[in-house]
Amino acid sequence: MLCHTSHMTSAQTSTPVMRRRLGGILRRYRNEAAMTLAQAASCVGWESTRLSRVETGQYPDQGTRDLNALGGVCGQ
């Protein structure tokens, strides 16, 4: 019997990793700006739960404009 294993491409495996890395960077910026999760989320018009998911890499659909706005709020 022949066994087949599925192989994920590097693009498929790197996306969650990249989201977590980006989220960590955003959290660091927010902490350096001495902002709470609620304060930063409010400044960009998000719920704090959404920002929390972004920071932990659990929010897959993040637009560049939103991330730029968040970076601006945190002074980066």
pLDDT in tens, 24-46: 998 998 999 999 999 999 988 88
Q: What is the pLDDT of residue 7?
A: 46
Give yes or no for a contact between 40 and 74, defined as CB atoms under 8 angstroms apart: yes
CA 34/CA 30 separation, integer angstroms = 6
If you compute the radius of gyration of the chain from its CA atoms, what whole number of angstroms results?
Answer: 16
Q: What is the pLDDT of residue 2?
A: 41
User: Which carries the bigger pLDDT value, residue 6 or residue 33?
Assistant: 33
Q: What is the pLDDT of residue 17?
A: 87
**Cβ atoms within 10 Å of 32's Cβ, excluding its own:** 11
Q: What is the pLDDT of residue 71?
A: 67
Residue where the block lists tokens 């659909």: 61
Helix spans in the chain (H): 10-32, 37-43, 48-55, 64-73
Rounded average pLDDT over 10-34:
81
